[in-house]
Structure 1
Amino acid sequence: MTPSLSLADQIALELRADIIGGRLLPGVSLVEAELVKGYNASRHTILEALHRLGQKGLTRYVRNKGVMVRRLARAGVRDLFVVRRTLELQAIAQSGPLTDVQSMRMQSAIDATHLAREREDWRAVATHSLVFHQQIVALMDSPLFNEFFAQVIAQLRLLFCAAPDEQRFQSPWLERDREIYTLLASDNKPAASEAMSLYLDDSEHLSLALFDHP
């Protein structure tokens, strides 16, 4: 845990990491008593952490059920992709040639996605792909944008859980992530930007299609 943060903030970050990692799924109840025991924290601290998650759009309160991990609505999906286009395309546009560290982090995320696909762990495929896109935003070298985008990918993770066929939903993206990385590594920003724009268009279309059938 990060010492500079309050305990409530640290717990909220750990719960967010569980959402991004696919360990907390939409509709799951976050039971106060279990969290108090699991984190050895006071009830007040747990309530504060859950309130922070609610502020970030990751949980919601349901009468007679308590706090639950949120299910995304169609309007929320459109908003997420507005944010993605703004941040990811801007990050590419203003980036310079990749540094060794930036290249290594992107390549590591792609390698992890590939290994997860080989294991047919489609939940992990989605998580590692999101990590790759977090590294795209990190090209702006802005801690504030990095933190904001972490909230975005946590909500995207909740969206991906709605896919009835995870393999079909996640299969197209690894090679396209790799293509974007290759273009960035060769410092071909116009082509990388175009590839990212098409990627986001197709991803939004596929994501919205999840709401077409009950």
Structure 2
Amino acid sequence: MPAERGQRPSGDSGISIAERISHQLRDDIMGGKLPPGTQLVEVDLAAAYGASRNTIREVLHQLGREGLATFVRHKGVIVRRMERKDLREIYAARRALEMQAISGDLPLQPALLDKMLTTIDAADRALAKRNWRNVGTLSLQVHQHIVAQLGSRLLNEYFLTLCAQLRLVFASEIDESLIQTADWIERERLIHGLLVKNRRAEAAEAMAAYLDDSERTLTGVLTRLKNQQAK
């Protein structure tokens, strides 16, 4: 029986095809390619990935467990629309992970700080081109490099899911230029500079303020959306 398209060769230590497809779809969500409300049609995904429909069902169940997809009557499985209660949970998790990475006892890894700076510079270039979707995606990557300081593959995977959920919140704002503004990049650059100088207490203070303001901004987005839907 031939392997499903995209399956790794035998002996590869990689993940299963279902996990690989779910990771790809999560990446597409995080990159803004699959906004909230997008239908995830089983037969179309099976054809696109050369996978069986049973595999795709497994993928869709996984996306559901990760809070990225949901079943809607008469529509099937769609990319999830996030709500304010979801946002509160996302930020509670962000604070736990990012604050620990910054203020914990583990020594900071210079290579990850370098990646953080490279990503911040890329976000600046995306901002100059008014590529708002890329600005948001790169900002999420900056914070992935921060969490990676914890040195845990499991926590990295969990944070990637949080980032994909955040991307769905970003996409709730029709005009992303309203939330992907230069001041966020400047604040990330400040945090990076403090970490490079090992001024971790100040970096933690800056990050706490960043997360508070970020949550407040995105709560406003979801509140406006809910009010519009109620009219």
Q: What's the TM-score once normalised by structure 1's chain length?
A: 0.96
1:107 match? 117
> What count of residue pairs does the alignment treat as equivalent?
214
Structure 1 SS opposite 2:179:
helix
Deviation at 1:97, TM superposition (A): 5.2
| TM alignment of 1:35-184, pairs within 5 A | 35-94=45-104, 98-171=108-181, 172-184=183-195
Structure 2 SS opposite 1:16:
helix
1:31 match? 41
**Alignment-mate amino acid for residue 193 of structure 1:** A
**Alignment-mate amino acid for residue 101 of structure 2:** A
| TM alignment of 1:12-27, pairs within 5 A | 12-27=22-37
CA distance in 1, matches of 2:145, 2:173: 24
Query: Structure 2: where are the runs of 5+ without partners?
Result: 1-5
Deviation at 1:167, TM superposition (A): 1.1
**Alignment-mate amino acid for residue 72 of structure 1:** M
Determine if contact 2:113/2:196 at 8 Å carries over to the other structure: yes
1:189 match? 200
Deviation at 1:111, TM superposition (A): 1.4
Structure 2 SS opposite 1:61:
strand
CA distance in 1, matches of 2:133, 2:89: 23
**Alignment-mate amino acid for residue 68 of structure 2:** L
Deviation at 1:212, TM superposition (A): 2.6
**Alignment-mate amino acid for residue 181 of structure 1:** H
Q: What's the TM-score once normalised by structure 2's chain length?
A: 0.89
Q: What are the Cα deviations for residues 25-65 of structure 1, in whole angstroms up to 9, with x where unaligned?
A: 10000111111111001010011111100000000011121
Q: What are the Cα deviations for residues 12-33 of structure 1, in whole angstroms up to 9, with x where unaligned?
A: 0000000011111100001111
Q: Which has the larger radius of gyration?
A: 2
Deviation at 1:165, TM superposition (A): 2.6
Deviation at 1:5, TM superposition (A): 1.2
Q: What are the Cα deviations for residues 133-189 of structure 1, in whole angstroms up to 9, with x where unaligned?
A: 011111111111111111100100000111233112110311111111111111100
CA RMSD after TM alignment: 1.3
Q: Could you tell me the percent identity over the aligned residues?
A: 44
CA distance in 1, matches of 2:105, 2:171: 32
CA distance in 2, matches of 1:96, 1:115: 32
